[in-house]
């Protein structure tokens, strides 16, 4: 086993090994030194970054991973693009009915009735003298 240190800029990224072990940077994990592995760093708002670590045999010492520490600089993710809005469908114009045009009165057709007839009132005495000759 070898203890490998993981660091990221900015800190707080999740470091996940190809064997499934995870920690939040800065952190360290004890890993078996029997095969190479990949470490993936993820942090919200940043692009994921991966690094390979390999066991190195050193004469007179147990195998160790290199690089150690594993340091990555995360790149900000591009802001998500908003889907283009579809232009609003034009509102359908509803044609208003035109007022009926008066038709010329003919001998065959009676004039059109447009309103209810008004009630007739008794004639009121005129304040003006009558122009009809007296008999």
Model confidence at 94, pLDDT cuts 50, 70, 90, reads low
In a domain, 87, yes or no: no
Model confidence at 104, pLDDT cuts 50, 70, 90, reads low
In a domain, 108, yes or no: no
Residues 42 and 16 sit within 8 Å (Cβ to Cβ): yes
Of 52, 86, 57, 88, give the one whose Cα is nearest residue 72: 52
What is the predicted pLDDT for the residue at 78? 83
Q: What are the strands, taking DSSP E only, across 18-69?
A: 22-24, 27-31, 37-42, 49-56, 64-66
58 CB-near residues (< 8 Å, 6+ apart): 64
d(CA 65, CA 73): 20
- Note down the domain range covering 6: 2-73
Distance of CA 24 to the CA centre of its chain: 31
Query: What percent of the chain is modeled with pLDDT above 70?
Result: 59
Return the CATH number at 38.
2.60.40
Strand 22-24 and strand 49-56: pairing? unpaired
Summarised one tens digit per residue, pLDDT across range 52-71 is: 999 998 888 888 999 999 99
In a domain, 13, yes or no: yes
**Tally of domains within the chain:** 1
In a domain, 95, yes or no: no
Average pLDDT, the chain: 80
Model confidence at 73, pLDDT cuts 50, 70, 90, reads very high
Q: Which of 27-41, 91-105, 115-129 has the lowest mean pLDDT?
A: 115-129
In a domain, 112, yes or no: no
In a domain, 54, yes or no: yes
In a domain, 126, yes or no: no
Residue 116, helix vs strand vs coil: coil
Residue 49 has pLDDT above 90, yes or no: yes
N- to C-terminal Cα separation, the chain = 142
Name the pTM for this structure: 0.57
């Amino acid at each position: 086993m070898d203890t490998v240190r993981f660091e990221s800029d900015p800190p707080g990224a999740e470091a996940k090994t190809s064997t499934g072990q995870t920690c939040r940077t800065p952190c360290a994990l004890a890993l078996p030194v029997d095969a190479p592995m990949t470490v993936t760093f993820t942090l919200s708002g940043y692009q994921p970054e991966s690094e390979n670590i390999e066991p190195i045999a050193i004469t007179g010492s147990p195998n160790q991973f290199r690089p150690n520490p594993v340091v990555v600089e995360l790149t900000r993710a591009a802001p998500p693009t908003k889907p283009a809005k579809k232009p609003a469908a034009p509102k359908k114009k509803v044609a208003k009915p035109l007022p009926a045009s008066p038709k010329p009165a003919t001998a065959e057709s009676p004039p059109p009735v447009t309103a209810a007839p008004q009630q007739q009132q008794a004639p009121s005495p005129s304040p003006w003298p009558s122009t009809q000759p007296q008999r």
